[in-house]
Amino acid sequence: MGTVLIIGAGGVGSVVTHKCAQAPAVFPNVWLASRTIAKCEAIRASVRAKTRRAINIARVDADNVPELVRLIRRVKPRVVINVALPYQDLTIMDACLATGVDYLDTANYEPPDEAKFCYKWQWAYRRRFKDAGLTALLGCGFDPGVTNIFTAYARKHHFDAISHLDIVDANAGSHGHAFATNFNPEINIREITQRGKYYENGRWVVVPPLSRHCTFDFPGGIGPKEIYLLYHEELESLAKNIKGARRMRFWMTFSENYLTHLRVLQNVGMTRIDPVVFQGREIVPIQFLKALLPDPASLAKNYTGKTCIGCVIHGTKKGKARNCFIYNICDHAQCYKEVNAQAISYTTGVPAMIGAMLMAKGVWKQPGVFNTEEFDPDPFMAALNTHGLPWKETFPRKGFEGFVEQRS
Ligand SMILES: NC(=O)c1ccc[n+]([C@@H]2O[C@H](COP(=O)([O-])OP(=O)(O)OC[C@H]3O[C@@H](n4cnc5c(N)ncnc54)[C@H](OP(=O)(O)O)[C@@H]3O)[C@@H](O)[C@H]2O)c1
């Protein structure tokens, strides 16, 4: 149904490329472009080995709009999938507008010099995409992305009103390194070290970083894990689009070992995002740290264990209180077998491919800028089951608090 152009040859970009190559009826031509051509070449070789398909590759600096416009005019894609970094969101949206092409990403824009991610910069493009008759789909990874769709699906099928949402994200895997992040270290550490924030009774409550935690009993053999309250970007759009909810929170697991390393790195200044002078030149400590840490894509080979990401929802149906837990379990080793990736990249890359597929088929096509919960969740939920991320739903007697072992 069209050519797809994927920008960003990282861990997530590799999964998106493999999954698009697995769908030749939808994407007869697959292009991958990134800053480092060697990374595109490695992914092209892996895709050929796994799918026997030949993909096209190109070098591009996605900070440079004229360069992007030249590439898009040459490739003529039906949709551009942006899986570079959040810093490139606006330049790639500008290039899509200039060339008349639909846009999709998995993380919202943040300015490089300020650890502040929010949708205001991208939502400001609504009028321009609408006037151009183009669709921009924001945050179409797992969280954000599938977590928004799980919530929209629950609202459509299981609730008349949702009052409480708790998104829980566990990585119960083991990669064998003392310390590593599962996606881009710079983006990941900026996210975790900022203050926690959640939505309650129409306002945002801010708490010190990683200060709220409890134990959540995860399904799929994972069991009880310590989860920490974080601010996560889907809360911003869900608070707007799921009307009437009283509370929305996001929680993620971290091991004691991970938190100890992070605390030391913070204490010695290695997570700073402002430039410091080192041997006569400016460096940004967190970017230097990124150069020292394992490339998240390289963790895949020896990763074992599972991830579980889901939504614990409480609300009412026909006047009666009800709970629902919708979740996916993903196995690191199985992801490696299928596409040479670990589960964090896989759970992000598969939804990006499904979103682009629904856009290319015209199923999710509306002029403007949208978050995933604004479209009909049903075709996406069906595609998750057939493209590697099957989900389950349960209706527990107790809501989030019932899953949680309260700390004294
Ligand atoms: N929604 C979700 O569930 C979710 C979960 C995880 C990650 N994410 C998002 O997914 C995205 C990719 O993550 P990742 O772990 O794959 O990161 P990654 O491994 O660091 O990959 C990013 C890729 O983008 C390329 N890139 C960076 N700046 C570029 C530029 N100016 N022009 C062209 N290419 C550029 C990098 O190229 P070089 O190597 O040459 O620098 C790298 O290959 C991030 O935005 C992340 O926040 C979303």
- 10-residue mean pLDDT profile of the chain (408 residues): values are 94 97 97 98 98 97 98 98 97 98 96 84 98 98 98 98 97 92 84 92 95 95 95 97 96 93 93 94 94 89 96 97 97 97 96 98 97 98 98 94 72
Judge if the beta carbon of residue 83 lies within 6 A of ligand 1.
Answer: yes
Give me the pLDDT at residue 408, please: 46
CATH topology classification for 3-138? Rossmann fold (3.40.50)
- b/e map 182-197, b = 16+ CB within 10 Å: bbbbbbbbbbbbeebb
Going by C-alpha positions, the residue among 361, 375, 344 that lies closest to residue 83 is 344
Cα of 146 vs centre of ligand 1, distance in Å, is 19
Partnered with residue 30 across adjacent β-strands are: 4
Query: Ligand 1 centre and the CA of 184: distance in Å?
Result: 6
Q: Is 285 in the pocket of ligand 1 (CB under 6 A)?
A: no
Q: Which of 43, 83, 235, 238 to mutate to test the pocket of ligand 1 (most atoms within 8 A of CB)?
A: 83
Rounded distance from Cα 73 to ligand 1 centre (Å): 23
Ligand 1 in reach of 240 Cβ (< 6 A): no
Q: Ligand 1 pocket check: which of 348, 372, 389 to mutate, most ligand atoms within 8 Å of Cβ?
A: 348
Q: Are 144 and 348 in contact (CB under 8 A)?
A: no
The partner residues of 217 in beta bridges, in order of sequence, read: 224
For residue 216, the CA-to-ligand 1 centroid distance in Å is: 30
* The pLDDT of residue 85: 94
CB of 86 closer than 6 A to ligand 1? yes
Residue ID of nearest Cα to ligand 1 atom 41: 35
Alpha-carbon distance of 7 to 10, in angstroms, equals 9
| pLDDT value at residue 228 | 95
- Dist. CA 275–CA 30, nearest whole Å: 38
**CATH 2.60.40.10 for domain 146-339+391-407:** no
- Total H helices, total E strands in the chain: 15, 19
Question: Would you list the domain boundaries of the chain?
Answer: 3-138, 146-339+391-407
CA distance 140 to 149: 9
Structure token pair of residue 281: 């030149």
Tokens for 147, please give them.
């977590």
Q: How far is the CA of 89 from the centre of ligand 1 (A)?
A: 11
Is the CB of 145 inside a 6 Å radius of any atom of ligand 1?
A: yes
Q: Which atom of ligand 1 is nearest to the CA of 143?
A: 3
Cβ–ligand 1 distance for 13 under 6 Å, the answer yes
pTM (2 decimals)?
0.95
Q: Where are the alpha helices (DSSP H) in 11-79?
A: 11-21, 37-51, 65-75
Determine if ligand 1 sits within 6 Å of the CB of residue 368.
no
In short, whether 60's Cβ falls inside 6 Å of ligand 1 is yes
Sheet of 56-59, strands arranged across = 56-59, 29-34, 3-7, 79-82, 102-105, 135-138, 368-371
In this structure, what token pair is assigned to residue 380?
């996406």
Ligand 1 within 6 A of CB of 236: no
The reply to whether 146-339+391-407 shares the fold of 3-138 is no
Q: Residue 403: its pLDDT value, please? A: 83
H helices of 197-314, in order, are: 234-241, 256-267, 285-292
CB of residue 351 inside a 6 A radius of ligand 1: no
Q: How far is the CA of 117 from the centre of ligand 1 (A)?
A: 15
Q: Are 375 and 143 in contact (CB under 8 A)?
A: no
Q: What is the pLDDT of residue 407?
A: 61
Which pLDDT score, from 0 to 100, does residue 296 have?
85
